[in-house]
Amino acid sequence: MKLAVCINHVPDTETKVKVGPDGMSIDKTGVNFVLNPYDEFAIEECLRLKEKNGGEVLAVSLGGDAHKDTLRKALAMGVDKAALLKDETPRDSFSVARALADYLKPYGPDVIFFGKQSVDSDDAAVGTMVAEMLSLPSVSVVVKLEVAGGKAIAEREIEGGRERVETTLPAVFTAQKGLNDPRYPSLKGIMAAKSKPIEEQQPSPAATKTQVIAMQKPPAKSAGKIVGTDASAAGELVRLLHDEAKVI
């Protein structure tokens, strides 16, 4: 089974975001970048599918040299090979998807996995766009997956419940938290990752369809009032919510 996992290198979720000097992106000074949290579930699921069905797992990332750290982590977790589509031009979801789809097409994976979204741009779009560009079915926000006999049965999270979805393979999936428990790279894995090659390629050009005009911080919330310091404040709190805020 040929498996591909597309991963991203993003600011840690503890990052305090500051708008950069260009007024259109974040100030990256002192920001710690990590493997996108949702991509860990995607990598883990690919490794499990490989362990069950045989085959190989390819990890792909689009970005600058810094993305090699993230690809190295995927290799340390057990991915077989990695490719960096080296390009630092700002891209939108459509343009990222085009580059990934163009790269993945000749590889012909049976399963392509993504995290359900990158925690930087929060588009939640690239995986499904790649599926459409490759004319493949897809299931997004997957919390459970079974693959057998050229078919997959997935469960995806929807508002207040789950959908059970059947699809033919090849197909694209995007992983939600809860799909599995991602493994930690073993010491052996980390050592092995150092000698695994990372292929570098020039991706197809960055034709974007959106334009960033400005980035701002949301309006700051200020601290309100402390209503009390014990259960006797409950009545006053409920009165404020009813009379002042008018939310109950």
Partner 1 sequence: MTILVFAEQRDNTFKKPALEAVRAGRTLADQLGGQVTALVVGSGASAIAGDLASYGATTVKVVEHEKLAYYCALAYAKSIAEAAKKEQATVVLMAATAMGKDLAPRVAVKLDAGLAPDCTAIKADGGKIVATRPVYAGKALLDVAITSPTQVITIRPNVFPAGEPSSEKASAEKLEVAFTDADFAVGVTELSTASGKLDVSEADIIVSGGRGMKGPEHFKLIEELAKALGGAVGASRAVVDAGWRPHEEQVGQTGKTVSPSLYVAVGISGAIQHLAGMSSSKYIVAINKDKDAPIFQIADYGIVGDAFEIVPAVTAEVKKLLGS
Between residue 166 and residue 195, which ones bind partner 1 under the rule CB under 8 A? 166-168, 171, 176-178
Q: How near is the Cβ of 71 to partner 1 at its closest, in Å?
A: 21
- Separation of first and last alpha carbons in the chain: 55
Largest Cα–Cα distance of the chain, in whole Å? 68
Q: How near is the Cβ of 4 to partner 1 at its closest, in Å?
A: 18
- What phi and psi values does residue 102 have, to the nearest 5 degrees? -65, -40
User: Residue 84's CB: how many other CB atoms inside 10 A?
Assistant: 21
Q: What's the angle, vertex CA 179, arms to CA 135 and CA 117, rounded to 5? A: 55
Q: How near is the Cβ of 188 to partner 1 at its closest, in Å?
A: 26
Q: 4 vs 139, which CB is nearer to partner 1?
A: 139
Q: 80 vs 102, which CB is nearer to partner 1?
A: 102
Q: How near is the Cβ of 204 to partner 1 at its closest, in Å?
A: 15
Site for partner 1 in 86-105 (CB under 8 A): 92-94, 97
Give the binding range for partner 1 (CB under 8 A) out of 49-57, 75-83, 103-111, 230-238: 230-238
Q: Render 58-85 in DSSP notation, one character per residue.
A: EEEEEESTTHHHHHHHHHHHT-SEEEEE
Total site size for partner 1, rule CB under 8 A: 85
CA dist., res. 90 & res. 236, Å (int): 51
Site for partner 1 in 16-45 (CB under 8 A): 16-17, 19, 26, 37-38
Indicate which single residue of 190, 192, 206, 240 sits in contact with partner 1 (rule: CB under 8 A).
Answer: 240
Q: How near is the Cβ of 18 to partner 1 at its closest, in Å?
A: 9
Q: How near is the Cβ of 191 to partner 1 at its closest, in Å?
A: 28
| Pairing, β 9-11 against β 161-168 | unpaired
What's at 118, amino acid-wise? S
Element (H, E) at 238: helix 234-239
Site for partner 1 in 120-149 (CB under 8 A): 120-129, 131-133, 137-141, 143
Indicate which single residue of 2, 11, 55, 201 sits in contact with partner 1 (rule: CB under 8 A).
Answer: 11
Element (H, E) at 114: strand 111-115
